């Protein structure tokens, strides 16, 4: 895997910057978010619907792959200790520093200024109260996934050898010396989709909405954990050629699943996935599982083929994207509040929010974190 790690780094960089585009776009969808403009556009709703189904599963898949690579050089305990340092410290410091400004923007009508608001941040749990981890839920979930993986590996709770035997029984060697035929690829892909689908059908009736609050979010928790585990398994058995050899197939199936999901939302539930409706859940979650998997497979294959390289800029960005992830939503919400109140075109507002967020995030890393070393531990930088 040594000659293949670059495409994972580059894909992670792209995924984090895509989050900036997504979170900036949600402001203009008319959906319930931390900040919502009075202006909205169908273009932003389509874009958010498209990205929403695979962007976090992609990050968890990459995290699972990275976990395998990390465990090659560490014991299980050293791996868990490193994850605690790089995830929990930024999580707790981020909750105290980065989340309150977002909640303050939502509560502007209740407080005269930020100083009077801040002590109230710790009163009650969001949304009724103020205290929450907002976008930092990703760090909390990722640490729990790493904790589960630690126990799986240390105590051999799950035996992954069945995957290797299954592949050998189908005469598909792990090093893929022979071309992968399309029937075998589709069979394996739809097995994964079926597992994702069944998990959602079982859990969604009890935990319908993605709350990101852990204790009442088990459908979303388990969905993302499956992608994390898949990332680990694909790295463990070096199966990335599945993606490289099926880029076109993944793209076609990804586009098809998105079109069907779009039509389902548009005609069945007024085109707003935030609505708490159970109607046609079988169709919906099968399409969501299809779309999530095939777009992830497409982008992994694409980056393997065309972006499996590195240079000084990419190496620097691969370090910078973690603190950029931590700070980006705070910038979007605060800057966005002022931009949406300017009487200009909605797409120009969006462009300004995206550019300002990217520029400020990069400046924060290069001008502050790179120069003030003691701050790095709070943003997950070694």
The position carrying tokens 């976008």 is 135
Percent of the chain with pLDDT over 70: 87
pLDDT-based confidence at 265, cuts 50/70/90?
Answer: confident
Looking at residue 239, what DSSP letter applies? Answer: -
Distance between CA 236 and CA 218 in Å, rounded?
26
| Res 275 pLDDT > 50 | no
Is residue 282 very low, low, confident or very high in pLDDT (cuts 50, 70, 90)?
confident
pLDDT in tens, 94-142: 999 999 999 999 999 888 899 999 999 999 999 889 999 999 999 999 9
pLDDT tens-digit map of 321-372: 999 999 999 999 999 999 999 999 999 999 999 999 999 999 999 999 999 9
What DSSP assignment string belongs to 212-253? --STT-HHHHHHHHHHHHHHHHHHHTT-THHHHTTHHHHHHH
Domain coverage including residue 356? 2-379
Q: What is the pLDDT of residue 82?
A: 92
Does 172 have pLDDT greater than 50? no
More confident residue, 79 or 244: 79
How much is the pLDDT for 174?
43
Task: Describe the chain by its helix, strand, coil percentages, rounded to 5.
Answer: 70, 0, 30
Q: How many domains does the chain have?
A: 1
Question: How high is the pLDDT of residue 268?
Answer: 59
CA-to-CA separations, 380 to 95, 140, 166, 305, 306, in angstroms, rounded = 14, 13, 38, 30, 29
DSSP character string of 62-117: HHHHHHHHHHTSS-HHHHHHHHIIIIIHHHHHHHHHTHHHHHHHHTTTT-SSHHHH
Give the rounded distance of the alpha carbon of 208 from its chain centre: 19
Which DSSP letter does residue 179 get? P
What is the pLDDT averaged over residues 211-233? 92
């Amino acid at each position: 895997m040594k000659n293949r790690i670059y495409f994972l780094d580059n894909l992670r960089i792209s995924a984090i910057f895509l989050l900036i585009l997504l979170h900036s776009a949600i402001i203009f969808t008319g959906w319930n978010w931390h900040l919502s403009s009075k202006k909205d556009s169908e273009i932003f709703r389509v874009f958010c619907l498209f990205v929403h189904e695979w962007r976090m599963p992609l990050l968890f898949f990459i995290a699972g792959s990275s976990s395998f690579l990390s465990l090659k050089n560490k014991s299980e305990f050293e791996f868990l200790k490193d994850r605690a340092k790089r995830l929990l410290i930024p999580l707790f410091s981020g909750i105290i520093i980065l989340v309150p400004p977002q909640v303050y923007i939502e509560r502007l009508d209740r407080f005269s200024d930020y100083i009077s608001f801040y002590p109230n941040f710790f009163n009650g749990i969001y949304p009724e109260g103020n205290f929450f981890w907002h976008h930092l839920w990703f760090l909390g979930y990722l640490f729990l996934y790493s904790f589960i993986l630690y126990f799986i590996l240390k105590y051999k709770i799950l035996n992954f050898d069945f995957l290797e035997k299954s592949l050998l029984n189908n005469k598909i060697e792990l090093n893929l010396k022979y071309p992968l035929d399309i029937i075998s690829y589709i069979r394996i892909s739809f097995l994964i989709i079926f597992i994702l689908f069944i998990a959602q059908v079982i859990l969604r009736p009890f935990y319908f909405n993605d709350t990101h609050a852990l204790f009442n979010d088990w459908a979303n928790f388990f969905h993302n954990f499956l992608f994390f585990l898949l990332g680990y398994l694909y790295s463990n058995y070096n199966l990335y050629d599945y993606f490289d050899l099926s880029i076109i197939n993944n793209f076609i199936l990804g586009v098809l699943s998105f079109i069907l999901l779009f039509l389902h939302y548009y005609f069945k539930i007024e085109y707003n996935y935030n609505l708490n409706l159970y109607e046609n859940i079988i169709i919906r979650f099968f399409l969501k599982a299809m779309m999530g998997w095939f777009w992830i497979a497409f982008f992994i294959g694409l980056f393997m083929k065309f972006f499996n390289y590195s240079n000084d800029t990419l190496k620097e960005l691969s370090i910078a994207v973690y603190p950029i992830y931590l700070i980006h939503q705070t910038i979007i919400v605060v800057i966005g509040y002022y931009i949406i109140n300017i009487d200009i075109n909605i797409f120009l507002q969006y462009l300004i929010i995206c550019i300002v967020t990217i520029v400020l995030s990069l400046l924060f890393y290069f001008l502050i974190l790179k120069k003030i070393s003691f701050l790095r531990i709070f943003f997950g930088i070694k």
